[in-house]
Structure 1
């Protein structure tokens, strides 16, 4: 076993994964206040549907990746089904990732990276809905691990059906 400068034995153990958020930004956002456009009056009880998609890709710089949380938030009236508002948001983060084994990069990008930037997405959604004339919409925490597992199962099912 080799010794380092301090005389301690240098272990061949892998280094701990390292992640840095280099940048985060709104890539695309759209908010439509349909309630105000149509002039619907009276008290309405909203039914809010949230769709979440994730995208990740390698950047040209070594060990850098871009991860995007794509939200589509659709709010309709519970009573009549009229559209109240529609919010679409693509929020991206640029990450420097090191010491992650190749077979673990994909889940790391689609679970850990979105967890890091989600609080900022939540704040934007709250601010935009409030500034758009509605009570602030506070998103519940998204379980990115469950989302990842569901997508893997969906892909496996699609592959099984395609080969059957």
Structure 2
């Protein structure tokens, strides 16, 4: 096909690739409790470590900017007795400039791709804090943010279905 006014071939609009820039990263809140040291006992026991992750995303007042929050709660207990060893809570944030992402794909992009960018820094902080707290450094396993996102969608769908089935009295 040609453009009738110039005789030149029509240029098809090439899809533009998503753009993601990390503008800032920060620790919003961090706490670490060495329960073993507070009780004056040895931390030589075999630990059982549990990690809970919570993600949140919100639009900022500046156009195309979003704030992502990754909250981790790390608990370590003695495997045999269940006695607590340490508790760590971290709220880590990132500010992102996102462009060329379709509106229907923005929510998963913010809760999958942005946390992937933040995770190496979160892993480093957790390792450093646990080491500085008197324990071997905790090297977090890689988090599958896609699986986490899908699990949350499933949980919400089940909650909505349960709420719609509940009879109103």
TM-score between both structures, scaled by the size of structure 2: 0.91
Q: Which string of whole-angstrom CA distances, capped at 9 and with x for unpartnered residues, describes residues 80-111 of structure 1?
A: 11110000001001000000000000000000
Matched, 1:141 2:145: no
| 1:155, distance to aligned residue in structure 2 (A) | 0.3
Give 1:111's aligned residue: 112
Equivalent positions of 1:1-164 (< 5 A) are 10-41=11-42, 43-164=44-165
| Alpha-carbon distance between aligned partners in 2 of 1:139 and 1:133, rounded to the nearest angstrom | 17
Tell me: CA distance 1:77–1:8, structure 2 relative to 1, closer, same or farther (3 Å): farther
| Alpha-carbon distance between aligned partners in 2 of 1:57 and 1:76, rounded to the nearest angstrom | 34
Alignment RMSD (CA, Å): 1.4
| Alpha-carbon distance between aligned partners in 2 of 1:44 and 1:8, rounded to the nearest angstrom | 73
| 1:130, distance to aligned residue in structure 2 (A) | 0.2
TM-score between both structures, scaled by the size of structure 1: 0.93
Can you give the 5+ residue segments of structure 1 that lack an aligned partner in the other structure?
none
Can you give the 5+ residue segments of structure 2 that lack an aligned partner in the other structure?
none
| 1:9, distance to aligned residue in structure 2 (A) | 5.0
| 1:13, distance to aligned residue in structure 2 (A) | 2.9
**Highest CA radius of gyration, 1 or 2?**
2
| Alpha-carbon distance between aligned partners in 1 of 2:138 and 2:61, rounded to the nearest angstrom | 36
Q: Look up the SS of the partner of 1:15 in the other structure.
A: coil
| Alpha-carbon distance between aligned partners in 1 of 2:156 and 2:103, rounded to the nearest angstrom | 20
Runs of 4+ in 1 over 4 A off after TM superposition: none
Tell me: CA distance 1:42–1:63, structure 2 relative to 1, closer, same or farther (3 Å): closer
